[in-house]
């Protein structure tokens, strides 16, 4: 199989799994979007994925996003930024990102707002929440999110669309409580912040569990493109 056929088949398996999980809990799979995570993968893989019907791509590194967006200019696709944010690199991210998933520091918000203002853009973002409490993970503690949202209300060029989290890398079934916690937090916050309906959660290891627990955006890399090869490997 060539790359495009392989991606097409992987994508169709994922769609099938999403449908099954959505049906199980009475959700429509139409309410669930896939972000194809392309970090480390070459532009040719992204082109193959476009041919296979994917149109939303997620990158983790500002420079890589910037280069790939430039090379794929003119394609009818959407870029999401899902990685750790370095505030001084936001100038590369905001001009191309439809959605930034991983915001949790006030200085990031301030900088995004400033850049978006210059671009006459309203930047959609998600707030990253560390539901597992793992020290290696970014994000706010669940109990910090309300105040954070309140504090950033007045930034006019930012719109918070929802919450994002990463579950620990454990047996898929054990990820369920983390996804559930993010959903419950979102439901609670919706009473005060009416726009934050999105839940970006679920990756290759656990996306079908995330679907059962209410994910609206899945970030999937390996299950679409295969294992990532890092430089030097």
Ligand X SMILES: *Cc1c(COP(=O)(O)O)cnc(C)c1O
Assess 222 for contact with ligand X (CB under 6 A): yes
The distance between the two most distant Cα atoms of the chain, rounded to a whole number of Å, is: 52
Among 93, 115, 217, 220, binds ligand X (CB under 6 A): 220
Binding marks (x or -) toward ligand X, 46..85, rule CB under 6 A? Answer: --------------x---------------------xx--
Least spacing, CB of residue 192 vs ligand X, in Å: 26
Cα separation, 60 vs 37, in Å, equals 8
Among 32, 116, 125, 203, binds ligand X (CB under 6 A): 203
Among 39, 66, 80, 186, binds ligand X (CB under 6 A): 39
Of the candidates 232, 218, 222, 233, the one whose C-alpha atom is nearest the C-alpha of residue 41 is 222
Least spacing, CB of residue 154 vs ligand X, in Å: 28
Cα separation, 228 vs 61, in Å, equals 15
Question: How distant is the alpha carbon of residue 11 from its chain centre?
Answer: 17
Q: Which stretch binds ligand X (CB under 6 A): 41-49, 71-79, 86-94, 203-211?
A: 203-211
Cα separation, 200 vs 102, in Å, equals 10
Among 66, 89, 183, 219, binds ligand X (CB under 6 A): 219
Assess 90 for contact with ligand X (CB under 6 A): no
First to last CA, the chain: 24
Question: How distant is the alpha carbon of residue 113 from its chain centre?
Answer: 19
Of the candidates 214, 209, 219, 101, the one whose C-alpha atom is nearest the C-alpha of residue 164 is 101
Q: Which is nearer to ligand X, 87 or 222 (CB)?
A: 222
Minimal CB distance residue for ligand X: 221
In this structure, are residues 167 and 183 in contact, taking their beta carbons and an 8 Å threshold?
no
Assess 131 for contact with ligand X (CB under 6 A): no
Q: Which stretch binds ligand X (CB under 6 A): 45-53, 145-153, 191-199, 217-225?
A: 217-225
Residues with Cβ < 8 Å from 71, sequence gap 6 or more?
Answer: 43
Least spacing, CB of residue 206 vs ligand X, in Å: 9
If you ran DSSP here, which 8-state letter would residue 26 be given? Answer: T
Q: Which is nearer to ligand X, 40 or 123 (CB)?
A: 40
Judged by CB under 6 A, the number of residues near ligand X is 14
Residue 145 structure tokens: 């999110």
Interacting residue ranges for ligand X, rule: CB under 6 A: 37, 39, 60, 82-83, 166, 203-205, 219-223
């Amino acid at each position: 199989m060539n790359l495009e056929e392989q991606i097409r088949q992987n994508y169709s398996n994922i769609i099938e799994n999403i449908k099954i999980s959505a049906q199980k809990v009475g959700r429509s799979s139409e309410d669930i979007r896939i972000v194809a995570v392309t970090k480390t993968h070459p532009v040719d893989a992204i082109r193959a994925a476009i041919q296979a019907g994917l149109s939303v791509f997620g990158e983790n590194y500002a420079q890589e996003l910037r280069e790939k967006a430039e090379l794929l200019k003119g394609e009818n696709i959407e870029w999401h930024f899902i990685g750790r944010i370095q505030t001084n690199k936001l100038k590369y991210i905001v001009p191309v990102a439809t959605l930034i998933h991983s915001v949790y520091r006030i200085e990031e918000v301030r900088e995004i707002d400033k850049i978006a203002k210059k671009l006459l853009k309203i930047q959609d973002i998600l707030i990253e929440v560390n539901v597992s409490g793992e020290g290696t993970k970014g994000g706010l503690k669940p109990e910090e999110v309300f105040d954070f949202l309140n504090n950033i209300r007045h930034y006019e060029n930012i719109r918070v669309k929802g919450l994002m989290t990463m579950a620990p890398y454990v047996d898929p079934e054990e990820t369920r409580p983390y996804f559930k916690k993010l959903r419950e937090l979102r439901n609670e916050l919706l009473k005060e912040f009416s726009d934050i309906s999105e839940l970006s959660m679920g990756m290759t290891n656990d996306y079908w569990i995330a679907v059962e627990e209410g994910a609206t955006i899945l970030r999937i890399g390996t299950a679409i493109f295969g294992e990532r090869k890092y430089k030097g490997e």
